[in-house]
Each structure stands twice: as structure tokens, then as C-alpha cells.
Structure 1
Amino acid sequence: MSDLTMLKNVGKAALADFAILGITSTAQLASCEPDDLYLKLCHLTQQRHDPCVHDVFAATIHQAKTGEALNWWAFTPARKERMKAGTFCTLPTP
């Protein structure tokens, strides 16, 4: 079993997303950025994913880097502010 399953916000859906992205360990995840993972996932699956997926990526990366396990929704306000400001990762229009 992957050590990713030990992270607070990782369930079946997040594990499936990490598999698509080729992320197989917490150490590998710690070197990632949530924007990059979110955009790559959307590109690889050819669909827009709920922005909350970004929040899960942010939370799991934070825990992988710091050891601090926060709920994914703790990262939602910052993402929403970025969305309002137009600085959240943008996807090309299909």
C-alpha cells in the first residue's frame, strides 16, 4: 500500500488522481505544486475538474512538505481569492 494513503485527505478519488499523474509516494508529492498537478490532471483527462481537487492537492502537498495535516477546505479561501483576482490556474477554453 502506498504511503499516500496515510495522508489526511487521501481517499479513493485522490489516489486515482495521483495514479493518473504518476505520483506514487509522499516524497514525490512533496516536490509538486498544486497548480501544476491540477492543470496536468485536467490535461491528461481532457476535462475540467472541480476546483476542490486543487484544494485537496494543496492540502496533501502541504502535509507532505511540513507534516501538518490540515483539512482540504482550509485551502479553499485562498483558492477562491485567487479565482476572484484572476490568478488561479487557468485552463484553455475547449
Structure 2
Amino acid sequence: MNVGEATYKDLQLLGINSIHQLANASADQLYARLQQITGQLHDPCVWDVFAAAINEARTGEKQPWWQWTKIRKKRQLEGTFCI
């Protein structure tokens, strides 16, 4: 998985230690849990990175994280984003 060091550490903190675990994860749940565990609000772009990594784990298709920004922003406008 092609993620940066900070995301790798976040995934470890969340108990994600394999591609299989990541493929079965939800970006919403990971993002919400990360904020609970750390007691901090995180930039919504973290959700974008999680979504891209999960998609790659599920499909093998590598996409830049910012391709998920449009999806997140639409959900934010609709009030369906997890935070």
C-alpha cells in the first residue's frame, strides 16, 4: 500500500495491520475512530486518504487521494459525512 508515514502510523494505531483488514474497513469508521483514539479533530483530507487506500486494497487500483475529495465534499454538503 502506497501511503505516507503518518497514514501508516494512523492505520497501525487503528489496528489495521494487513491489506485484508484494510479492504474490510470503512473510511468513515477509521476516521471517526482515529479522532476518538487521539482525542483530536483531524483534517477531513485524512478521510480522503483512508478512502483511497481502502479502494486500492479492495480493487488493486491506485488512485490519488484527492480524487476522493469531491465525494467527501458532496457528502459534507448533503450532511451525510461522518463528522
Larger radius of gyration: 1
Q: Does 1:33 pair with 2:26?
A: yes
Q: Structure 1: which 5+ runs fail to align?
A: 1-6
**Offset of 1:19 from its aligned partner?**
1.2
Give % identity: 51
Superposed CA RMSD: 0.6
Q: Structure 2: which 5+ runs fail to align?
A: none
- Which residues in structure 2 correspond to 1:26-65 (within 5 Å)? 26-65=19-58
- Number of paired residues? 83
TM-score normalised by the chain length of structure 2 = 0.97
TM-score normalised by the chain length of structure 1 = 0.86
Task: Tell me the residue number matched to 1:88.
Answer: 81
Which ranges of 4 or more aligned residues in structure 1 deviate by more than 6 Å? Answer: none
